[in-house]
Amino acid sequence: MRGGEDGRVARRTLLLSTAAIGAAVGAAQAQGDAFPTRPIRLIVPFAPGGGTDILARVIATKLGESLGQSVVVENRAGASGAIGTAAVARARPDGYTLLFTSSPALVVLPALQPPPPYDAERELAPIATLARQAILFVVPSASPYRSLSDLVRANLGRPLTYGTPGVGTDPHLAGVALAGAARVLLTHVPYRGGGPALNGLLTGEVDFLPALTGVAKPVLDDGRARALATTNARRHADLPNVPTTAELGYPSVDLVPWWGVFAPAGLDLATAQRISDAVATMARDPDWTRRLDSFSIEPVYLRPEETTAEVARQLSGWRLRLSGRVLE
């Protein structure tokens, strides 16, 4: 008798638990179907006016059209991208706070000591990788250095200086990678942005500049500077005479920054799918491709799982390369 009663209680408990799970799944599905019902914040962890910010504003417009809600860019600059990235990692995972950032905040800063106040692999959920851009090693047109080999050999006499938009930025990392591969000492001169760094090159304040293709191309086109090498795996279509670092004997100088959209970890599947579908639609938009091309940026689309794998691979590589060092 007691066993029968216990069985009925167990069955009722099972049915109630199943109903609760079903209700939770249904609620999550309904949330995804309804999303979004209010404006979405797209946090950019850099100051207004830079390359990441410019791309974010194009994305905000496109996603807003696809999702039927305003997407507002919010700049949270500081600590080489760590402040804005941490803000998203701590945000409520409801889809209304997203991150658009370049790769160093996810695969380089976590490899440094001290690490940033977030775990890029556990606290952020990839939505997609959307674009990438090689770095060029650039000198002024009056420079005596005609090749990357010239630059490296000259550095044996005195440490050459190179300018960047700041500590921990993509160009800075390219300079670090070149110094390590060539086994030379280079003096880093950080500026307050890509524009000031480019001006420092043109006025002779620094010897050379690792610069994103889009930043360097205008002064290459008008003859004020020339490119010695590109970090890409293949030569740039617009700069076919510029060799790759791999061709020149430095295959480890392969830094190709990329940009992606991320959400706080824990986002429900339906909402994540809704955002992912909107981003994928934008990535196929010919206007998006044209906008990237105008900045000499290569369009590339990686799904969430592919982006997760790429973050893990690059983070592991930078941990080995930096071995917990402090960038300066």
pLDDT at 28 (0 to 100): 47
pLDDT at 328 (0 to 100): 65
| Residue ranges of the chain assigned to CATH 3.40.190.150 | 35-132+259-322
**What CATH class has 135-230?**
alpha beta
pLDDT at 11 (0 to 100): 54
Residue bearing tokens 């500081």: 78
pLDDT at 146 (0 to 100): 95
pLDDT at 175 (0 to 100): 94
What pTM, to 2 d.p., does this model score?
0.79
- Do 260 and 107 touch, CB atoms closer than 8 A? no
Percentage helix, strand, coil, to 5, in the chain? 45, 20, 35
| Residue ranges of the chain assigned to CATH 3.40.190.10 | 135-230
- Mean pLDDT by runs of 10 across the 328 residues of the chain is 52 50 48 83 88 90 95 92 96 98 92 90 97 94 95 86 87 91 93 86 96 89 96 89 95 90 97 97 94 88 96 90 66
Which residues neighbour 196 within 8 Å (Cβ) at sequence distance 6 or greater?
165
Fold classification of 35-132+259-322 is D-Maltodextrin-Binding Protein; domain 2 (3.40.190)
